[in-house]
Amino acid sequence: MTSPLPEQPPRGEPRLLMRGINKSFGAVNALTDVDNGAGKSTLIKTIAGVGPADSGEIFVEGQPVKITSPQVATRLGIETVYQDLALCDNLDVVANLFLGREEHTPAFSLRENDMEQRGLGVLRTLEVKIPSIRSLVASLSGGQRQAIAVAKAILRNARVVLLDEPTAALGVAQTRQVLNLILRLRDQGLAVVVISHNLADVFEVVDRVIVLRLGRRVATFDVKSTTPERVVSAITGAEFGELRSATTNGNGVSEGVTNNE
């Protein structure tokens, strides 16, 4: 049994929309009037409920919401795959997929077979290849580990998946595996936000690029009508023409976010 595909929001309605998000740490303004999923570490924690915003508006599928904790984000269908993946090397794939959400019988014994079948179903859907669903995570490659972390999010019925530097420290083959996985997530109707410094990866898998510099969103680009050079100019603060290009497609698409940190 596999997790159902997410329902699509109304046509033209972004699955996740943020307006005027502000976040300060004492006298340091980490985010200033940030909109629509633009940002890096601080903003991704705001979306995930780890560090709620001081002010601003968040909408999920057109409905205003308050994300005050990771549990609230999960209930809204927002899942985050952090750069460290948060996997337990000493446990097998099944145990990691259901960690903290294990399925039990009325007698409180684990439903091992049910969890195996659900895990296998999601891995097949994502076309993830691993030696065995009972393999220890420590024995897997970097690309396979990233895939397991994503599959864990899908099993929680995610509608929006945030990926923090998903190809960092991966080799060429493993990077290709992760990029293909991102494309499959998009094809299955999930909204995907990719946080990355690698412009080659960004241009390969996303539909829109948002640049955050010094805590502010400084540019939005449609990848079909821009170039890496223009994005770099926005990252570095170089002046050139009009930085912002109008984009309206927020429904079930990938989005790249990059900055100069």
Each residue's pLDDT tens digit, 45-59: 889 999 888 899 999
pLDDT in the model for residue 7: 58
Beta bridge partners of 193: 162, 255
d(CA 136, CA 147): 14
Instruction: Give bridge partners of residue 212 from the DSSP assignment.
Output: 217, 259
Q: Can you give the residue range of the structural domain that contains 20?
A: 16-259
Instruction: Report yes or no on 255 lying in a domain.
Output: yes
- The length of the chain is 261
Q: Which of 180, 177, 123, 110 is nearest to 3 (CA)?
A: 123
Look at residue 4 and tell me if it is in a domain. no
Element (H, E) at 259: strand 254-259
At 258, is the pLDDT very low, low, confident or very high (cuts 50, 70, 90)? very low
Q: Which of 195, 115, 181, 170 is nearest to 147 (CA)?
A: 181
Q: How many domains does the chain have?
A: 1
Q: Is the pLDDT of residue 254 over 80?
A: no
Q: Is 25 part of any domain?
A: yes
Is 75 within the bounds of a domain? Answer: yes
Pair 215, 204: CB distance under 8 Å: no
- Whether residue 146 contacts residue 137, with contact meaning beta carbons closer than 8 Å, is answered with no
Taking the C-alpha atoms of residue 186 and residue 161, their distance in angstroms, rounded to an integer, is 10
Positive or negative, the CA dihedral 182, 164, 145, 141 is positive
Helix (H) or strand (E) holding 217: strand 216-222
Cβ-based neighbour number of residue 212 at 10 Å: 25
Q: Does 213 map to a domain?
A: yes
Q: Which two tokens stand for residue 150?
A: 């994503």
Which secondary structure element, helix H or strand E, spans residue 164, and what is its range?
strand 160-164
Using one digit for the tens of pLDDT, what is the confidence trace for 133-180? 999 999 999 999 999 999 998 898 899 999 988 988 788 988 999 999
The model's pLDDT over 181-236, given as tens digits with 9 standing for 90+, comes to 999 999 988 999 998 888 999 999 999 998 887 778 888 999 999 999 999 998 88
Q: Which amino acid is at 172?
A: V
Q: In the block, which residue shows the tokens 């009508």?
A: 225
Q: What is the maximal distance between C-alpha atoms in the chain?
A: 66
65 burial level (CB within 10 Å; 0-12, 13-18, 19+): middle
Question: How many helices (H) and strands (E) are present in the chain, helices listed first?
Answer: 8, 10
pLDDT above 50: residue 248: no
Q: The pTM is what?
A: 0.78
Local structure of 76: helix, strand or coil: coil
Residue 3 domain flag: no
Measured CA to CA, the distance from residue 85 to residue 51 in angstroms comes to: 18
Write the CATH number for 238.
Answer: 3.40.50.300
